Structure 1
Amino acid sequence: MRARWQPRVRERARRQAATSTGLVVDTRARFGFTAAPGTTDDARIRHLTPALPPQHAARLFDAQDAGASEQQLRHIASEGLGEMYFRDGGRRALGLEVEFTDVEHIQFDI
């Protein structure tokens, strides 16, 4: 019975994250964008734990289901992280290209 139950619970949690609650990303990586040396947004190792909105969760889940590579998933995650961390959900730094490299760890929580 547990073998049948667990996948349904997992699928329900993924569906909820992709449509209403989003997900939380905990990562430590080189994160930033090319800026003048010494500025606060210059790429450097950062530990971030932002909440990504449902549309970013949906993109990650869809790509994972389609067999995306780790590099492709990392790119989608970096877009979401850049949107929430640097661009503040579209309130600043529009069009900024974010760098997300040297990943030490990344964990997604629903």
Structure 2
Amino acid sequence: MGIFGDSLDKATTSTFTRHPPKSPQAQMRFLVKSAKGTRAAAQALGISQRTVERYLKGQIKQPRPDLAARLADEVRRRWQPRVRERAKKQAATTGGIVIETRARFGFTAAPGTTDDARIRLITQQLPPAYAARLFDAHAAGATDQQLQEIAAEGLQEIYFKDRGRRAPGLQVAFTDIDYVELDF
């Protein structure tokens, strides 16, 4: 996934009310329960069903590093889905989303005027409408470029145009992203 998709996933995991299981055996037990069987859990991880059963019995205690990462990601993805959806719904209807980014912003304004792009550090609360658009696009499988365009439009309207009170016709180019962190 891309930088925006990962940041949205990270923001949703920060809404958990309890920590996910830590040990490989507890993680595997949760995954088998949520996947409704050892076969489905094995397919989700790309391992054999017998390996999943060995983890459940405690015969294997420490997974390979790549399997440990896949297991932790899969557990995090399935952990507390109702809490995650409630937080997304609240952000999309009332709370909005906070975006913190360090990236290159350039502008094109009225005919004949431009401003050269430069690196800026921006932390801005985007209204619920932009949060809803980001969540909907992410759920629909949008590319990272499409998510970036939605965020750029939100920053353009809220941060640079001050909700339409200044700089009419300003177009913002949002490129060379160093990092993006989202929170709701």
Could you say which TM-score interval applies, normalised by the shorter chain? 0.7 to 0.9
> Structure 1 stretches of 5 or more lacking a match?
none
Correspondence for 2:155: 81
State the TM-score, normalized to the length of structure 2: 0.54
In the alignment, what sits opposite 1:33? 107
Q: Which runs of 4+ in 1 moved over 4 A?
A: 2-5
Question: What SS does structure 1 have at the residue aligned with 2:171?
Answer: coil
In the alignment, what sits opposite 2:57? Answer: none
Aligned residues: 107
1:25-104 to 2 correspondences below 5 Å: 25-34=99-108, 42-104=116-178
Q: Structure 1 or 2: larger helix share?
A: 2
- Answer whether contact 2:108 2:170 (CA < 8 A) is retained: no
Contact kept, 8 Å, 1:34 with 1:43, in 2: the verdict is no
TM-score by length of 1: 0.87
Ranked by relative contact order (alpha carbons within 8 Å, sequence separation 6 or more), the top structure is 1
Cα distance in structure 1, aligned partners of 2:162 and 2:116: 17
> Residue 16 of structure 1 corresponds to which residue in structure 2?
90
- Residue identity opposite 1:75 in structure 2: E
Identity %: 64
- Residue type at the aligned position of 2:169: G
Distance 1:68 1:5, change over 3 A: closer
Segments of 5+ residues of structure 2 without an aligned counterpart are 1-19, 21-29, 31-77
Q: Secondary structure at the match of 2:166?
A: coil
Distance in 1, matches of 2:166 and 2:116, equals 16
Aligned-partner residue type, residue 57 of structure 1: A
Q: Which amino acid aligns with 1:29?
A: A
